[in-house]
Amino acid sequence: MATGAWSIEKRAPLKSDSFARVNENLLETGCLSIVVLGASGDLAKKKTFPALFNLYRQGFLQSNEVHIFGYARTKLSDDELRDRICGYLSHGKENAEDLTKFLHLIKYVSGSYDDEEGFRSLDKAISEHEVSRNSTEGSARRLFYLALPPSVYPSVCKMIKNYCTNKSDLGGWTRIVVEKPFGKDLASAEQLSSQIGELFDEPQIYRIDHYLGKELVQNLLVLRFANRFFLPLWNRDNIDNVQIVFREDFGTEGRGGYFDEYGIIRDIIQNHLLQVFCLIAMEKPISIKPEHIRDEKVKVLQSVVPIKDEEVVLGQYEGYTEDPTVPDNSNTPTFATVILRIHNERWEGVPFILKAGKALNSRKAEVRVQFKDVPGDIFRCQKQGRNEFVIRLQPLEAIYMKLTVKQPGLEMSTAQSELDLSYRQRYQGITIPEAYERLILDTIRGDQQHFVRRDELKEAWEIFTPLLHRIDRGELKAVPYKPGSRGPTEADELLQRAGYVQTHGYIWIPPTL
Ligand SMILES: NC(=O)C1=CN([C@@H]2O[C@H](COP(=O)(O)OP(=O)(O)OC[C@H]3O[C@@H](n4cnc5c(N)ncnc54)[C@H](OP(=O)(O)O)[C@@H]3O)[C@@H](O)[C@H]2O)C=CC1
Ligand SMILES: O=C1O[C@H](COP(=O)(O)O)[C@@H](O)[C@H](O)[C@H]1O
C-alpha cells in the first residue's frame, strides 16, 4: 500500500520475533485500526486513550494511517465519547492542535458484547476506514484492546473472530490485548485461556501486565545481566533476603465491588509483584528474544515451593467494609505479605518477601535486595546496617546501593550512605513514558517480550491457587489495620523472622534538583 511512510516504520523494525516468522518477507504497510472495547469505562478514559494520545503526539501513530474506534454498550455519539476522555488527555497550549486532530481520529460504535449486530457495525466502520485509506485486502492491521471485565472476554473474542478479523496473509494482522485479572484461580484462568486460545493463536494474544511496562521493571534484566558487579553476587551465598513491595496510600475508592471479589493477592501480588519476582530471580536467558526470556520466567516459577500458612500475613484496613458494595463480613485482604521460596541452586534458603497493601502510610513500589553481613567485620559496623540494593520502581524512580563508608573527618568511624542513581536528577529533561504507552506500542510492533505467556500465567496461578482457596474458605483470617499505618504489625514480625534486618537511624532521601 502506498499511503506514505508511517512513523513507526522509521523508528524501529515493525515486526517481532514472535510474529514476524509467519510473514517474514512482508512489510507491514496496511492502515491501522485500534479498537478500544469498553470505551465508556474507567481504564479506557484513564489509561488507554491517554496512552494512545501520547503515542500520537510523539509521531508513533499518524493521522494518515491510524483510526481509533471506541466500542461499548452505552449509547454515545462520537462527540460524547470525545468529551468524556478529553479531560484525561494531557494537553497544554502547545499541543492543543494535536488534541483536536487526535480526537477526530476517534469514532464510536455502540453495541452489546455477545450479539453479532454490534460487531457487524464495528467491522463495517473499520472496513470503511481501510477502504478510505486504500489498504489492500489482507494488509490492514486491527488491534482490539479489551478494556472490559474478564467475564465478557470469551464472547467478545468470539465476536471479533467471527465478524471483525482481518485476513492476515498479506502482512496484515488481528491482535487482541486482554487486561488482568486473567481468571480467579488456576481452573478459571485455564478455562479462559482455552476459550481464547481456540479463537486466536498465542502470537495474537497480548496479556497485559502494566508493571512490565514500567521503566525500572524493564531495567531489571539490563541491571542484572549487563553489569559485572552483580553477576557473582546474585545468589544465596551473598543475598540474605529480597523484598518486593507495593504500597498505596489510598483505599479501594469506588472499586470496592471489583476488589472484594479479588483481593490484594489477585489484584497485585499474583501478577504485578510476581512478574517483578521473575525478573529478579530467573536465570540468564539465552538471548533477549521474548521467547527466551519467557522460558526462563516459567522455569523460575516452576521452582517455587508451596507457600506455607505461617509465612503469610493478611490484613484488612478498618473501614473497608463501609463501602456499600462490600459485604459487612468480608474477609478479603487489602494487605498481604507472602514469602516465596525457590528450590534451586541459586536461591535455596533465600526468602522472597512479596508485600502489597492499600490504605497504607505511603505510595511506593520497590525491590529491596538485602545482602548478608560481612564475615569477620573488623570495623564492627554490622549493627549500623547491611548492604542493600534498592530499585525504586515508583514514584521518583531510582536505583541506590546502601553501603558503609568512613564517616568524613578525623576519626576512623563508619557511617551508612548510598550510591544513588536518581532518575529525575540523572536524566533531566527526559520524560519517562507511561507503562501503557510503551505496551500499546509493543502490541503494534508485535513484540511480546513484556506480555504474559499462557504457560507463565498457568504457573503463576499454580503458586497462589492453594493459598487463595484457603483464604476464600475463611481458613486464613485478615487482621485489621489502621488506614494510614504500615499495615499489620504481624507483617513486620514475619519480616524479621525471615531474616530482614532494618537499618536504624538512616533513611534514603531522594535528592532534589
Ligand atoms: N480501572 C483501572 O484502573 C484498571 C483496570 N484494569 C482492568 O481493565 C478492565 C476494565 O476495567 P475498568 O475500565 O475499570 O472497568 P469498568 O467497570 O469501567 O468497565 C469497562 C466497561 O465495560 C462495560 N461493563 C462493565 N461491567 C460490565 C459487565 N458486567 N458486563 C458487560 N460489560 C460491562 C461498561 O461499558 P458499557 O456498559 O458501556 O458496555 C464499562 O464502561 C478490567 O479487566 C480491569 O480489571 C486493570 C488495571 C487497572
Ligand atoms: O492493577 C492495578 O494497579 C493499580 C496500581 O498501579 P500503579 O501503576 O499506579 O502502581 C492498583 O491501584 C489497582 O488496584 C490494580 O488493579
- Summarised one tens digit per residue, pLDDT across range 141-183 is 999 999 999 999 999 999 999 999 986 677 889 999 999 989 9
Taking the CA of residue 41 as centre, how many other CA atoms within 13 Å lie in the half-sphere pointing to its CB?
Answer: 16
Q: What is the mean pLDDT of residues 428-433?
A: 90
Q: How many angstroms separate the alpha carbon of residue 81 from the centre of ligand 2?
A: 24
pLDDT at 388 over 90: yes
Question: Which atom of ligand 2 sits closest to the CA of residue 252?
Answer: 14
Confidence band of 116 (pLDDT split at 50, 70, 90): very high
- The per-residue pLDDT for 381 is 76
Query: Which ligand is located closest to the Cα atom of residue 179?
Result: 1
Q: Which of 225-239, 253-267, 435-449, 455-469 has the lowest mean pLDDT?
A: 253-267
Confidence band of 507 (pLDDT split at 50, 70, 90): confident
Burial group, residue 48, by CB count within 10 angstroms (0-12, 13-18, 19+): buried
- C-alpha cell of residue 475: 481458613
C-alpha–C-alpha distance, residues 86 and 244, integer Å: 36
Percent of the chain whose predicted confidence (pLDDT) is above 90? 81
- Summarised one tens digit per residue, pLDDT across range 334-361 is 999 999 999 999 999 999 999 999 999 9
3-state SS of 262-293? HHHHHHHHHHHHHHHHHHHHCCCCCCCCHHHH
Omega before residue 181 within 30° of 0, cis: yes
Residue 295 in 3-state DSSP? helix
pLDDT at 12 over 60: no
Residue ranges around ligand 2 (CB below 6 Å): 210, 248, 267, 365
pLDDT at 256 over 90: no
Q: Which of 67, 129, 272, 450 is catalytic?
A: 272
pLDDT at 19 over 50: no
Q: Are 370 and 352 in contact (CB under 8 A)?
A: no
Identify the CA nearest to 269 among candidates 180, 182, 315, 336: 336
- The per-residue pLDDT for 370 is 98
Q: Which of 85-94, 172-181, 210-219 has the lowest mean pLDDT?
A: 85-94
Q: What is the mean pLDDT of residues 304-323?
A: 97
Question: Is 272 annotated in the active site?
Answer: yes
pLDDT at 1 over 80: no
What is the average pLDDT value for the chain, to the nearest integer?
A: 91
Q: How many angstroms separate the alpha carbon of residue 267 from the centre of ligand 2?
A: 8
32's enclosing H/E stretch is strand 32-37
Residue to mutate, 42, 217, 268, 276, ligand 2, most ligand atoms under 8 Å from C-beta: 268
Confidence band of 133 (pLDDT split at 50, 70, 90): confident
- The per-residue pLDDT for 168 is 65
Q: What is the mean pLDDT of residues 418-439?
A: 93
Question: Which atom of ligand 2 sits closest to the CA of residue 248?
Answer: 12
pLDDT at 20 over 50: no
- Summarised one tens digit per residue, pLDDT across range 475-497 is 999 999 999 999 999 999 999 99
Q: Under the phi-then-psi rule, with left for phi > 0, alpha for psi from -120 to 50, and beta for the rest, what region is 281? A: alpha
Q: Which of 114-118, 165-169, 375-379, 389-393 has the lowest mean pLDDT?
A: 165-169
Q: Which one is predicted more confidently, 167 or 9?
A: 167
Q: How many angstroms separate the alpha carbon of residue 38 from the centre of ligand 1?
A: 6
pLDDT at 2 over 50: no
- The per-residue pLDDT for 27 is 57
Q: Which one is predicted more confidently, 382 or 154?
A: 154
Q: Which residues contact 435 (CB under 8 A, 6 or more apart)?
A: 210, 211, 212, 213, 214
pLDDT at 198 over 60: yes
Cβ of residue 76 lying under 6 Å from some atom of ligand 1: no
- C-alpha cell of residue 104: 477526530
Burial group, residue 179, by CB count within 10 angstroms (0-12, 13-18, 19+): buried
Q: What is the mean pLDDT of residues 6-15?
A: 34
Q: How many angstroms separate the alpha carbon of residue 152 from the centre of ligand 1?
A: 10
Q: What is the mean pLDDT of residues 2-28?
A: 39
pLDDT at 136 over 70: yes
Query: Which ligand is located closest to the Cα atom of residue 253?
Result: 2
User: How many other CB atoms are there within 10 angstroms of residue 371's CB atom?
Assistant: 17
Q: Indicate the length of the chain as a whole number.
A: 513
